[in-house]
A and B are shown apart, each in its own frame.
Chain A
């Protein structure tokens, strides 16, 4: 079955430090991978996606993700964290019409 896993329920990072939110995938065939962010009482906002091409994908708000086929990973990264980045982050994989989400990682950026 197609799935994504986010091994960390929560990640704490000091403001200004680099951040990484981990994601691994299990997909048959070519993976179509996404990152979404959810702020409290708000919808899911699209950050970036990997379809094909460069392994480093750049997205919104300074985020980027690195696709690693050998490690089946798609980690989300940002060079310098902001307090406003604190939110719930979902890694996801597209299967036919459906997006299958990971369980989410809550990111806390500490001032």
Chain B
């Protein structure tokens, strides 16, 4: 079965640079979520989109922005990168159909961002 695709899988950037992470949800899934997992930590929710509109917002820094496109893929844009942004960034997708709380989120393999 098709899964969530994330690209790139690994990314190395310098401080103050920008980065763009891409997420392609499972076909027919209309909702995407972004999470950040620091070293040895549990994943933390950043932001979500349903039908191309932001649906919920978590601990996403102001330096980050995200959007969902008409084909439901999503991009997380990160500017003025800091050393502390080094983490594993997960995208997840679900088939919302209005069931906000009960639908299962399926996670991609993650993008490992290293900021030097």
Chain B positions 1-29 with a Cβ under 8 Å from a chain A Cβ? 4
Q: Would B100 and A96 count as touching, CB distance under 8 A?
A: yes
Q: Would A101 and B101 count as touching, CB distance under 8 A?
A: no
Task: Collect the chain A residues with CB atoms within 8 Å of residue B33's CB.
Answer: 97-99
Task: Collect the chain A residues with CB atoms within 8 Å of residue B104's CB.
Answer: 34, 46, 49
Q: Would B102 and A98 count as touching, CB distance under 8 A?
A: no
Task: Collect the chain A residues with CB atoms within 8 Å of residue B43's CB.
Answer: 44, 90, 99, 101
Considering the chains assembled together, what is the distance between the CA atoms of A86 and B53 in angstroms?
38
Q: Would A94 and B42 count as touching, CB distance under 8 A?
A: no
Considering the chains assembled together, what is the distance between the CA atoms of A99 and B110 in angstroms?
16
Chain A positions 1-32 with a Cβ under 8 Å from a chain B Cβ? 32
B52 to chain A, nearest CB (A): 14
Given A43-B90, A44-B90, A104-B42: A96 and B109 interface contact (C-beta under 8 Å): no
Cβ of A68 under 8 Å from chain B: no
Considering the chains assembled together, what is the distance between the CA atoms of A44 and B29 in angstroms?
17
Cβ of B45 under 8 Å from chain A: yes
Considering the chains assembled together, what is the distance between the CA atoms of A34 and B92 in angstroms?
14
Q: Would B109 and A90 count as touching, CB distance under 8 A?
A: no
- Between-chain CB contacts (< 8 Å), 10 pairs: A34-B104, A43-B108, A44-B107, A46-B105, A95-B101, A97-B33, A97-B45, A98-B58, A100-B45, A104-B42
Instruction: Please give the residue numbers on chain B whose beta carbons come within 8 Å of chain A beta carbons, in ascending order.
Output: 4, 31, 33, 35, 41-43, 45, 48, 50, 55-56, 58, 90, 92, 100-102, 104-110
